[in-house]
Amino acid sequence: MSSHSHYLAIDLGAESGRVMLGTLWDGRLTLEELHRFANKAVVVNGSRRWDFLHLYAEIIEGLRKAGARDLPIRSLSADSWGVDYVLMKGREPFLGVPYQYRDERTDGSYERLGDVTREEIYATTGIQFMTLNSLCQLHTDLLQRPEILKFADRFLLIADAINHLLGGDPVAEASLASTTQLFDPAKHDWAGPLIARLGLPAAIFPEIVPSGTLIGTLTEELQEETRLGQVKVVATCSHDTGAAVAAVPASDEEGWAYLSSGTWSLLGVESPQPVLTEEARTLNFTNEVGHRGMIRLLKNIAGLWILQECMRFWRESGHEYTYTDLLNLALEAPALVSLINPGDPRFLRSGGSAASGGMPARIAEYCRETSQPVPGSVGAIARCILESLSLLYRKSLSELEQLTGKPINRLHIVGGGTRNQLLNQCAASATGRKVITGPVEATAAGNILIQAIAGGAVSSLAEARAIVARSFPQNTYEPQEPAVWEAAYGRFTALP
């Protein structure tokens, strides 16, 4: 790795997207943000959709900026959140504007599946039950707009669709496919019998390829438009969490868990095989695929979404707060006064309009229902959210130890949430474990390093993680006030 190797990561999140330039040189990785753009749902006729053409246009703008650098780019790849998809036919980029996973059309989906039981679904897919899953969305398509499913000849999840439009083959990368609840992690293929039982058209599901697969070359049209030339298109870990976990700077020794901290909190461990037991189903853990087929046994937790929705409500009410503002206000508020269960369904949907009181009103409602003081200030609300998340991390880690039979003594936190120092300290104190944070841009780093593995510039995932450890700063948080947090955990576990 004596010479410079350049790569592009197209990293799409639920709040924003970015085109990142990654450079490998002398055993280190540097990242540079070339282009950042907003991503938000658009409400159309009462439904929540993604502005897919906006995303594509912004990605091309980022690629133009990369081309203007006149660097020898080896490859590029997109990653995105899971479960959401586009339906295609022939050269049509999409049939209908893709739904956003928080759209309410899928509410009650599992009750509409007829004689297909939860036990059957979990034994096949090992995926956590959430009505946002692709299974629920596609089954809702079957019931509400069957003509589109009949007309379509291809189903592609968001990052896979972007890679295809840039010049890659129309394939499904395994880590992203595994989020659908229609993937069999034991066979590493679509769950054909389940798809048939649901009445979904099997022909629309594309070939599944492992992470790090070369799938094509940038289209001639885009080569000319972006001045990037014949850049290879790679299916990295197309699921953003899969890419982020690949960039966790942990050694091969056991005893660690990861937390990808952002809009969602994805907390889990790596496992050589899926855990499809009744106990795992009851605890609602998910088995998703990581780099080279490693299973990510994890739980999806609401994450900073709850705080983001509060920020949106305050902004629409005329009060603009930055994350730094909220951190400072939370530090001024008394600790561990009121707690919520972030997994309560009321906190998973959009907080609604300012007129409804938004997410703060839902937090107040929950506290009244559970006979707790209602947080009376912005700082108190923020502190309530962060402390409650931390206590849910502890519960999830305890369940992981129960499922795997292995102790977890440290927690690696990666992603944008690592900037929230109060949340990091609360996580250490609530879980009673050492917390190590960084890198912030774990998804982009993982995306690029998997491309580098595919191209032969990096030999293995272990080497990639060592590169991350050398390249990005890490901070350590130790548990504090164990007795206080133990009492708070007792209160938390008693919540509905």
The set of catalytic residues is 240
Question: CB–CB of 429/8 below 8 Å?
Answer: no
Tokens 């990605």 -> residue: 59
Tokens 């009376």 -> residue: 376
Q: H or E element: which one contains 373? A: none
Question: CB–CB of 159/239 below 8 Å?
Answer: yes
Question: CB–CB of 32/20 below 8 Å?
Answer: yes
Is the sign of the CA dihedral 46, 48, 50, 54 positive or negative? positive
Give the integer Cα–Cα distance in Å for 140 and 148: 12
Sheet holding 434-437, edge to edge: 286-289, 295-301, 265-271, 256-261, 410-414, 434-437, 475-477
Question: DSSP string covering 39-60, please?
Answer: --EEEETTEEEE-HHHHHHHHH
Q: Token digits for 480?
A: 């504090």
**492: Cβ contacts below 8 Å, ≥ 6 apart:** 339, 341, 388, 391, 392, 395
Question: CB–CB of 292/326 below 8 Å?
Answer: no
The amino acid present at 11, given as its one-letter code, is D
Question: CB–CB of 321/311 below 8 Å?
Answer: yes
What angle (nearest 5°) sits at the alpha carbon of residue 286, between those of residues 285 and 290? 140
**Cβ–Cβ contacts within 10 Å for residue 147, how many?**
9
Give the integer Cα–Cα distance in Å for 17 and 10: 7
Start-to-end CA span in the chain (Å): 54
Closest CA to 250 of 415, 449, 469: 469
Closest CA to 32 of 18, 47, 22: 22
Q: H or E element: which one contains 184? A: strand 183-184
Closest CA to 128 of 165, 170, 179: 179
Give the integer Cα–Cα distance in Å for 156 and 206: 8
